[in-house]
Homo-oligomer: A and B are copies of this chain.
């Protein structure tokens, strides 16, 4: 399998973690977002959305990180990244979507560019925007994690799930942008647990082939 990725893309990092958790073989193909490689051919011919990640599995070309992880779950079910019952799976998916739909989309590169270029928002106000959505969004995740007996060492129980694949990249980004994190102790406890797990360590931005390029 080939993964088109950028080291700092948190959506790419989600898929890298899932691939590592499932111990799959894959090639890393870097697409440099700050150099706008996603906007030009040949990549733009592959990705109509001009976003990373993309995963190529034989003839199949997959987009959208959560759809890719669900695909990996269905094609390589062991170890599972979703728990066994429908209600538990819904909890894990809701945790993942609470980050992927409520926090991340507001803070990605094209949105920050629009704020600055089209709306003339100052650097300071743009940073405030970034921190607002991260900090308030994580507060909701904290509430869900701290308020449930289903939370264990990881977001759900004692093995990493889809929710951890999405949580960890968001926290790495939050740290990079100096967001407040002391108000989300359960989130940070889970994050620290993940960052002792090789699948999360070996795929983190600083460990990517294109790190700091």
Contact = CB atoms under 8 A, between A and B. Distances in A.
Interface of A: 48-49, 51, 60, 62-64, 66-68, 70-71, 74-75, 86-87, 89-91, 93-94, 97-98, 100-102, 104-106, 111, 114-115, 118-119, 121, 125, 128-129, 132, 140, 143-144, 147
B125 A119 contact: yes
Contact of A93 (B48, B64, B140): B64
Given A101-B104, A102-B105, A114-B129, 6 more contacts: A62-B94, A67-B94, A68-B90, A70-B90, A71-B90, A74-B86
Given A90-B71, A105-B102, A106-B111, A97 B132 contact: no
A141 to B, nearest CB: 9
A68 B91 CA distance: 9
20 contacts: A48-B147, A60-B90, A63-B94, A63-B98, A64-B98, A66-B93, A66-B97, A67-B90, A67-B93, A67-B97, A68-B90, A70-B90, A70-B93, A71-B90, A74-B86, A105-B106, A106-B106, A114-B129, A118-B129, A119-B119
Contacts of A102: 49, 51, 105
A10 B106 CA distance: 18
Interface residues of chain A: helix, strand, loop or mixed (majority): helix
Contacts of A64: 93-94, 97-98, 101
**Which 6 residue pairs spanning A and B have beta carbons closest together?**
A67-B93, A48-B143, A105-B105, A64-B94, A71-B90, A64-B97
A87 B71 CA distance: 7
A193 to B, nearest CB: 22
